[in-house]
C-alpha cells in the first residue's frame, strides 16, 4: 500500500457513492455505516436526492448528499474531489423501452467515462463498478447458464440498449485499470455483476404487486416451471461492494482489472415464483397461460407501444425481451469473490426473507386481495 493511502486511512477514508440515494445506494450506505471502520465521510451523489439521508451521520462518519448529473463532467469532477474511493452504481436500468437509447447510453456509458476521467484527473486510485449479470446474459435465444462462473463460455447476445450499455461501461472500467492518475500513481478498478437484486424498496417487486392490484388480484403465469434465476439480496450486494473496495485498496494486484459475479444463498426460482413467495398475504390468484399465448400478448404489447407512441409512453412489464429473459434459466456462483476477497453473504436467506417481507407487509392489504 502506498504512503498516501496509509496516511489517508489513519485519518479515515472518503467514499463517493454515485447513485447513492437509489435502491442499492441506500443499502451501501447502511452497510458502510455499520461495517466499515476506516471511513470518515460517505458522499451520496445522485440526480434525485434524498437530503434526509444526511441525518444518518454519526459522531465518526459524515454523510453528505450532493445533487448532480452523472452525464455532466463538472458535476462528477466536483463530487470526486477529495474522495479516496469511488463506488460507481449510478445507472439507468431499462428493458421496457421507457427511455430512448441515447439517454441510456449517456447515463451508463458516458457517465462511466466521466467517473473514470475524474478519478484520473484528481488522483483517485480506487474505483469499484456496479455492473450487471446482463453483461453476459440471459440471451434471447434461451441458452441456459446454470451455476456458471466468470470463465464459463456463453453465447453473449445483446439486442437491447441496457445490456449493451452495461457491457460497454464495464469494458471501459476494466480497461482503465493500471492507467495513470494525477501524481503518477495508478488507478485500480474492478467490477461486480449482481444477479437480480431484491430487498427493501425494490421498485420491480412493488410493480409486480401493483400489477396484481390492477388486474383485480389475478397474476398471469406462463414461464416454464423448471426455470431458475439467481436472485441476490441488496444488503449482500452492498456487503460484497464493501469487501471488494477494501480488498482493492489492500491487494490491488489481485483485484485490479477483475470482474466478479455476485450471488448469495437465496433460492433458485423463476422471477414470478420468487416474487410470489413474498406476496402470499395478498391472496393473489394465478392464471396460468400457455407460453405461446404469453408470446402473443408480448407481441401485442409491443404493437400497442408503437401505435400509442405519438400520444403516450405505453411501457408494460411484458414484452418479447422480458419474456425471453424470464423463460431462460440463469444462475451463477460467487466462488471467485470468495477466493479473492473472502466474500460470504452477510445475511443468510432467512434474514433476507424477513427483512424483505417486513417491507412488503407495508403494502396496502385492502387493494391487493384479502377480500378477493
**Residue closest to 309 by CA, chosen among 320, 318, 301:** 301
Residue 366 grid cell: 385492502
> Three-state SS for 53?
helix
**Residue closest to 75 by CA, chosen among 115, 125, 22, 130:** 115
Calculated CA dihedral for residues 150, 155, 160, 164, nearest 10 degrees: 50
Residue 179 in contact with residue 186, Cβ under 8 Å?
A: yes
Q: In angstroms, rounded to a whole number, what is the distance separating the alpha carbons of residues 336 and 275?
A: 28
What backbone torsions phi and psi does residue 104 show, to the nearest 5 degrees?
-60, -45
Q: In angstroms, rounded to a whole number, what is the distance separating the alpha carbons of residues 67 and 63?
A: 13
C-alpha angle with apex 239: 237 to 241, nearest 5 degrees? 70
Catalytically annotated residues: 162
**Residue closest to 240 by CA, chosen among 288, 191, 200:** 191
Calculated CA dihedral for residues 361, 314, 317, 21, nearest 10 degrees: -60
**Residue closest to 209 by CA, chosen among 363, 22, 24:** 363
What backbone torsions phi and psi does residue 294 show, to the nearest 5 degrees?
-60, -40
Query: What are the DSSP calls for 28-53, one per residue?
Result: HHHHHHHH-SSEEEEEEEESS--GGG
Residue 162 in contact with residue 94, Cβ under 8 Å?
A: yes
> Three-state SS for 269?
strand
Residue 304 grid cell: 400497442
Amino acid at each position: 500500500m502506498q504512503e498516501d493511502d496509509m496516511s489517508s486511512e489513519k485519518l479515515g477514508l472518503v467514499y463517493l457513492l454515485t447513485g447513492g440515494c437509489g435502491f442499492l445506494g441506500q443499502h451501501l450506505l447502511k452497510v458502510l455505516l455499520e461495517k466499515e471502520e476506516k471511513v470518515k465521510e460517505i458522499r451520496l451523489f445522485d440526480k434525485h436526492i434524498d437530503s434526509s439521508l444526511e441525518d444518518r451521520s454519526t459522531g465518526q462518519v459524515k454523510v453528505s448528499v450532493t445533487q448532480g448529473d452523472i452525464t455532466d463532467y463538472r458535476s462528477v469532477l466536483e463530487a470526486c474531489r477529495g474522495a479516496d474511493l469511488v463506488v460507481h452504481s449510478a445507472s439507468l436500468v431499462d428493458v421496457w423501452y421507457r427511455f430512448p437509447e441515447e439517454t441510456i447510453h449517456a447515463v451508463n456509458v458516458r457517465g462511466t467515462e466521466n467517473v473514470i476521467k475524474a478519478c484520473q484527473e484528481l488522483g483517485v486510485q480506487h474505483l469499484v463498478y456496479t455492473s450487471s449479470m446482463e453483461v453476459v446474459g440471459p440471451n434471447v435465444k434461451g441458452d441456459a447458464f446454470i451455476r456458471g462462473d466468470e470463465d464459463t463460455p456463453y453465447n453473449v447476445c445483446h439486442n437491447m440498449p441496457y445490456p449493451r450499455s452495461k457491457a460497454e461501461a464495464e469494458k471501459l472500467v476494466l480497461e482503465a485499470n493500471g492507467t495513470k492518475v494525477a501524481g503518477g500513481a495508478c488507478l485500480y478498478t474492478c467490477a461486480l455483476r449482481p444477479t437480480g437484486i431484491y430487498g427493501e424498496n425494490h421498485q420491480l417487486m412493488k410493480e409486480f404487486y401493483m400489477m396484481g392490484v390492477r388486474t383485480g388480484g389475478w397474476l398471469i403465469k406462463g414461464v416454464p416451471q423448471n426455470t431458475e434465476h439467481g436472485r441476490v439480496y441488496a444488503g449482500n450486494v452492498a456487503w460484497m461492494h464493501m469487501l471488494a473496495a477494501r480488498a482493492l485498496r489492500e491487494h490491488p494486484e489481485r483485484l485490479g482489472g477483475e470482474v466478479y459475479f455476485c450471488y448469495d444463498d437465496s433460492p433458485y426460482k423463476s422471477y414470478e415464483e420468487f416474487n410470489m413467495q413474498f406476496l402470499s398475504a395478498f391472496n393473489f390468484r394465478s392464471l396460468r397461460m400457455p407460453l405461446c399465448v404469453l408470446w402473443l400478448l408480448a407481441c401485442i404489447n409491443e404493437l400497442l407501444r408503437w401505435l400509442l407512441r405519438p400520444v403516450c409512453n405505453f411501457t408494460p412489464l411484458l414484452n418479447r425481451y422480458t419474456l425471453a429473459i424470464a423463460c431462460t434459466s440463469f444462475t451463477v456462483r460467487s466462488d471467485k469473490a470468495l477466493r479473492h476477497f473472502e466474500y460470504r453473504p452477510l445475511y443468510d436467506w432467512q434474514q433476507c426473507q424477513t427483512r424483505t417481507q417486513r417491507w412488503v407487509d407495508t403494502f396496502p392489504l385492502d387493494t391487493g386481495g384479502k377480500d378477493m
